[in-house]
Structure 1
Amino acid sequence: MTAPAAPAVHLHAARLERGGRTILSGLDLVVPKGSITAILGPSGSGKSTLLAALTGELPVAAGTLEIFGQPIPHGARALLEMRKGLGVLLQGNGLLTDLTVAENVALPLRTHTKLPEPVLQALVRMKLHAVGLLAAADAWPRELSGGMARRVALARALALDPPLMLYDEPLTGLDPIASGVIMSLIQRLNRSLGLTSIIVSHHVHETLPICDQAVVIASGRIVFAGTPAQLQSSDDPLVRQFLDGQPDGPIPFDAPTRAYGEAA
């Protein structure tokens, strides 16, 4: 009998710390291959900390974290190889202003491969075509709208054909139309390229329609994991406060008081 394939991401009893202070604990999460998972939660809940753990920037303090059945490596060279299989779309785009759109998309290919120039250029055109911006190949980042810049950053993140895509607040600063375009692209690319996608976001209503799984982080832990429909029908007070935007509830508005000298 063939053993079941390992999930794209598997956390078990994981604890994440920054500066000796526990940010998230008791994390148990399975992200199946080929799925789209939304990591939701209020600002400051630890979503970016979880993303840092997935990229290997932040080692788990306890428990386990596996990507496609393998633990995050510790050595610099092994970590670099692992990261080649991750595509990361940053909320700030991170486009280099002194490079054209095509040159930005080509950068990961030039850095990590030795492809002949004609093959490299063909791949760049393919990635730009996939996000609907082939006609903007020679444009400069300053000439792009916010939505176009986000799509260029997406094309660059896809340059090395990573099996796992991580999106850090992909809708920040975008208008409703551009947000809809980005969400539609994420869904279409996930299906057509056979990707697994994790979207870290606080934009609930825009994100849930394209997701297979929704995870809510609050009060230093995962308070919900299930389908979007199950999330919408949840009566958990933490979940309801977040979904309904209630100012009063179990999630405090003010940051907890820390003793003098405690790490931030």
Structure 2
Amino acid sequence: MTASDAIVRLRQLRLERGERAVLRGIDLDIARGSVVALFGPSGSGKSTLLSALTGELAPAAGSVEVLGQPVPSAGRALLELRKGLGVLLQGNGLLTDLTAAENVALPLRMHTDLPAPVIERLVAMKLHAVGLRAAADAYPRELSGGMARRVALARALALDPPLMIYDEPLTGLDPIACGVVMSLVRRLNDTLGLTSIVVTHHVHETLPVTDHAVVIADGGIVFSGTPAELQGSTDPLVRQFLDGQPDGPIPFDSRGAGANRQDAA
């Protein structure tokens, strides 16, 4: 993969929280137009990695390039970069006193000078894209969990970002809603020409729509390859995670053990 093919490039990345190294030695390229799943047990550093991509957490070492440029540390340059990132938060982040349409319109009103009729049309298009145009006037409390997640997705797409980041998009959803959301991720990625990074521990629901899978554990990347290669992996760390085995290389008290390994590194 050439530099121009990669929308995200990580080189020898080390991320720390306080005195503790959460991730170290991370090398990863994410190809434009792909859907990439980032798997790993709880506390493995998946959300910490997302914080580096969005500029919320500066690297302790190494480099982070997103959309063809190093992630700025702060200021207007970082704000401009973030306009190219669509982020679907784990908890949706919908404002409860705004309707679905008003929630989707919010980034357009904050970051553009578009006239109200144009914003209204764009909002209708985004809600239609996620199958919720009829719910435009509903408040978040009137929506099911899956519907609220789709409204949040429509809002994340409001500014037409080239890169979408999904942080645990299936948390709290029933199996049908999980299927709907992941099908939308794939369809929107292809029809809108996006690149999507899906951070999740829902392996079986996510792999069918994924082009590339990455597994993070023990402070680093333990697997990177196709979904078929992942399912055929014999690596003990990978197998323990995929098969849900309580005993294996990943201890039950992973936070304490991980901290000890990282401190020793």
TM-score range, shorter chain: over 0.9
Per the normalisation by structure 2, the TM-score is 0.95
Counterpart amino acid of 2:127? L
What are the ranges of 5 or more consecutive residues in structure 1 without an aligned counterpart?
none
Q: CA deviation at 1:74?
A: 1.7
Counterpart amino acid of 2:256? P
Do 2:55 and 2:74's aligned partners in 1 also have CA atoms closer than 8 Å?
no
Per the alignment, residue 241 of structure 1 pairs with 240
Alignment of 1:108-119 (within 5 A): 108-119=107-118
Alignment of 1:47-66 (within 5 A): 47-66=46-65
Partner deviation per Cα, 1:185-212 (whole Å, 9 max, x = no partner)? 0000000000000000000000111000
Secondary structure of the residue aligned to 2:256 is coil
Alignment of 1:13-24 (within 5 A): 13-24=12-23
Per the normalisation by structure 1, the TM-score is 0.95
Alignment of 1:48-127 (within 5 A): 48-127=47-126
Alignment of 1:187-198 (within 5 A): 187-198=186-197
Q: CA deviation at 1:91?
A: 1.0
- Runs of 4+ in structure 1 over 6 Å off: none
Secondary structure of the residue aligned to 1:256 is helix
Counterpart amino acid of 1:80? L
Distance 2:67 2:105 in 1: 26
Do 2:35 and 2:211's aligned partners in 1 also have CA atoms closer than 8 Å?
yes
Alignment of 1:225-240 (within 5 A): 225-240=224-239
Which region of structure 1 is more displaced relative to structure 2, 62-71 or 152-161?
62-71
Counterpart amino acid of 2:136? A
Distance 1:68 1:133 in 2: 30
Distance 2:210 2:96 in 1: 33
Counterpart amino acid of 1:176? P
Q: CA deviation at 1:4?
A: 6.0
Distance 2:126 2:189 in 1: 14
Partner deviation per Cα, 1:214-249 (whole Å, 9 max, x = no partner)? 000000000000000000001101000000111110
Alignment of 1:194-233 (within 5 A): 194-233=193-232
Do 1:6 and 1:69's aligned partners in 2 also have CA atoms closer than 8 Å?
no
Q: CA deviation at 1:68?
A: 2.2
Per the alignment, residue 256 of structure 1 pairs with 256
What are the ranges of 5 or more consecutive residues in structure 2 without an aligned counterpart?
none
Q: CA deviation at 1:58?
A: 0.4
Do 1:9 and 1:65's aligned partners in 2 also have CA atoms closer than 8 Å?
yes
Residues 1:28 and 2:27 are matched in the alignment = yes
Do 1:6 and 1:68's aligned partners in 2 also have CA atoms closer than 8 Å?
no
Per the alignment, residue 12 of structure 1 pairs with 11
Q: CA deviation at 1:6?
A: 4.1
Q: CA deviation at 1:45?
A: 0.5
Identity %: 73
Distance 2:46 2:139 in 1: 32
Q: CA RMSD in A?
A: 1.4
Change over 3 Å in CA distance of 1:176–1:69 after alignment to 2 = same
Counterpart amino acid of 2:120? Q
Partner deviation per Cα, 1:8-41 (whole Å, 9 max, x = no partner)? 1010110011112100000010100000000000
Per the alignment, residue 149 of structure 2 pairs with 150
Q: CA deviation at 1:75?
A: 2.9
Secondary structure of the residue aligned to 1:104 is helix
Distance 1:246 1:235 in 2: 14
Alignment of 1:174-189 (within 5 A): 174-189=173-188
Per the alignment, residue 36 of structure 2 pairs with 37
Equivalent pairs, count: 258
Distance 1:68 1:141 in 2: 32
